[in-house]
Amino acid sequence: MSRSGVVVADESLKAFNDLKLGKKYKFILFEINANKTEIVVKETSTSSDYDEFLEKLSETESLYAVYDFSYSTNGDGERSKIVFVAWNPDTAPIKSKMLYAASKDALRRSLTGIASDIQGTDFSEVSYETVLDKVSKGH
């Protein structure tokens, strides 16, 4: 449970494991339900188009996302890392931003196997290049 009292729904953990172990999804979007009690799956996608993922991020709504990020390294070929995104745009309502910030750790701690954390308040912080730079450090 988080500081806000929000818990992670079982379906959220199942969807994450389907992405991580089963490669069933490319990304998952999570939201806090209307009752503000659980973190639930908002949407899943099998699309590997990163721009399609970015289009799902609203300028006025906070959410969490997990993305199976694939990239190439010089000489090492294709790599894949699971990235956790806490999307909390500057233009979201203040109460929503506070709730998402206070609830993030409950979800983040439940998801084992995350390679990188991205905190996004605007699109430059979640751009393909920014994420690539973060996940490929040390390669």
In sequence order, what are the residues at sequence separation of 6 or more whose Cβ sits closer than 8 angstroms to the Cβ of residue 45?
25, 26, 27, 28, 52, 53, 56
Which residues sit opposite 85 in a β-bridge?
Answer: 65, 118
User: For the segment 8-62, what is each residue's pLDDT rounded down to a tens digit?
Assistant: 999 999 999 999 999 999 999 999 999 999 999 999 999 999 999 999 999 999 9
**Residue 138 — very low, low, confident or very high, per pLDDT cuts 50/70/90?**
low
The two structure tokens encoding residue 115: 């390679």
User: For the segment 64-114, what is each residue's pLDDT rounded down to a tens digit?
Assistant: 999 999 988 777 788 899 999 999 999 999 999 999 999 999 999 999 999
The predicted model scores a pTM of 0.94
Q: Nearest 5°: CA angle at 88, between 97 and 61?
A: 80
3-state helix, strand, coil in the chain (%, to 5): 35, 30, 35
What per-residue confidence (pLDDT) applies to 47? 96
**CATH architecture classification, 7-135:** 3-Layer(aba) Sandwich (3.40)
Per-domain residue ranges of the chain: 7-135
